[in-house]
A and B are shown apart, each in its own frame.
Chain A
Amino acid sequence: MKREVPIIITFLTGFLCVIAFFIPHPPLGDLQQRFLVWYAIVYGFTMVLGLDSLLKYNVKKITQRKEGWQYSYVLLFGLALVLVTGFQSWLKYGTPFELRSSFMYCYIHIIVPLQATMFALLAFFISSAAYRAFRARTFEATLLLVAAAIVMLGRVPIGKMIWSEIPVVSDWLLNIPQLAAKRGIQIGVYLGGVVMSLRIILGIERTYLT
């Protein structure tokens, strides 16, 4: 029961999606559509799963007074804040996504700046990483550096001001050798993806069951 049923479910659903792709005859299309709708519903639940490890971890941190436990209160406060405003907005406007609602207020004034700034930090890190790590140590590294420099200049207006051909060279790099490289890598990667799917459907691959 614990192992066999999941493997059978995986096989049936996976196999159905594969044959419904090739066989248009009813009832396969209908059946697949029903499964897809169910998938959407169930998938939603999988996304709250992470919540469990998050809560457990932080509650444990607080009860055991681990280093930085105070911040776990901040985390729980943030969680509660969103839940309260979300349901309050839902009651008030019938949807939390009314632009005037308190839920959207939290969204635009808390989550947006936090998310955006987290990533903006990368601008600084990439500069210092470029300075410290990008060395022309080998022939390959030199090629990488040169290509990067051309694209960095070619994709901004100042490149054309320096030399009018820089954007042309950078477009060519992107459209020809870069494309060929990505295609070569990705064909391999997607073959790997196809094979992984096959292994899952056939029940050879079971790590997701742990």
Chain B
Amino acid sequence: MNLLGTWIAAGLTVAILSFLYRDNPFYKFAEHLFVGVSAGYWVIYIWAFDVKPMLIDEFLRQAGVEKWLLIIPAVFGVMMLMRWVPRTAWISRWPISFTVGIAAGLALTAQVQGYIIPQIQATLLPLVSIGKTTSETIARSFNNIMIFVGVVCALLFFYFSREHKGALKVGSKVGIIFLMIGFGASFGYTVMARISLLIGRLTFLLQVFGLR
């Protein structure tokens, strides 16, 4: 049974890889199978991890007010599915606005507390930093200056309320330099990630064919 599974997996792997030659029925088959299978997974997941433990089991377990309050999310959930019928689709706006409201409320404070404040704090750096040796002092100060200049100039690049002339122009030009280095680093890392995925797949295939 496991051997069969391994060959199914290997077959599907090859079917997808065949896209490299050109688009073909094998690839199309695998692609559509993937979309169908992953959609099916959602249904099982929502049942096993959402509806059953959080609604049905809780409803059976709880008593009194707690029990009946669970009706509210259940009704919201059903309202969500009303979207499937065009005439009742508007009812789904209620639960959607509930989820959107919660997400927005949580995000508002989280982004300030979790990003903006700590990142401003981390950029509040003295431009000189005295180390044990002169070369350490120079290196540390240089790094502090680079972080400070980089952040400020990148922010200047995204400043739109004024024509970029004079000092603003110079600042935003420096900003672009930092941005490009940043994007380059991301690109390098992304290349690495993509190759790693191929390594993973090829290792699997080579193992199936007994070459590793």
**Do A and B have CB atoms closer than 8 angstroms in the complex?**
yes
User: CB < 8 Å: which of A41, A114, A177, A181 contacts B54?
Assistant: A41
Q: Closest residue to A153 on the B side, CB-wise?
A: B188
| Contact present for A181 and B182 (CB under 8 Å) | yes
Contact-residue bracket for chain B: 35 or more
| Contact present for B5 and A105 (CB under 8 Å) | yes
Known: A16-B105, A183-B154, A209-B97. A117 touches B187 (CB 8 A): no
| Contact present for A156 and B192 (CB under 8 Å) | yes
Q: List chain A residues, Cβ under 8 A from B8.
A: 109-110
Interface size on A, residues (CB 8 A): 121
Within 8 A of A (CB), among B15-64: 16-17, 19-20, 28-44, 46-51, 54-55
| Contact present for A126 and B51 (CB under 8 Å) | no
B61–chain A nearest beta-carbon distance, Å: 14
Q: Closest residue to B30 on the A side, CB-wise?
A: A114
User: CB < 8 Å: which of B28, B32, B94, B96 contacts A78?
Assistant: B32
CA distance A79 to B158 in the complex (A): 46
A164 beta carbon closer than 8 Å to chain B? no
The 10 tightest CB contacts between A and B, nearest first, are: A184-B154, A180-B150, A147-B184, A17-B105, A78-B36, A82-B40, A151-B188, A181-B182, A44-B50, A13-B101
Which residues of B are in contact with A by a Cβ distance under 8 Å?
A: 1, 5-6, 8-10, 12-13, 16-17, 19-20, 28-44, 46-51, 54-55, 69, 72-74, 76-78, 80-81, 83-84, 90, 92-109, 111-112, 115-116, 119-120, 122-123, 143, 146-155, 157-158, 175-192, 194-195, 197-198, 200-202, 204
Please name 17 further chain A to chain B contacts, defined as beta carbons within 8 Å, in addition to the given A5-B94, A113-B204, A155-B188, sorted by A numbering.
A41-B76, A45-B77, A46-B80, A47-B42, A77-B36, A81-B36, A108-B5, A110-B9, A116-B201, A118-B34, A120-B16, A125-B194, A126-B191, A130-B191, A148-B191, A185-B158, A197-B108
**Can you report 23 A-B residue pairs in the complex whose CB atoms are below 8 A from each other?**
A10-B98, A14-B104, A17-B101, A39-B102, A40-B50, A41-B74, A45-B76, A48-B43, A50-B39, A86-B40, A103-B44, A108-B9, A114-B12, A120-B17, A121-B19, A155-B189, A177-B150, A179-B150, A180-B150, A180-B182, A181-B154, A184-B179, A198-B104
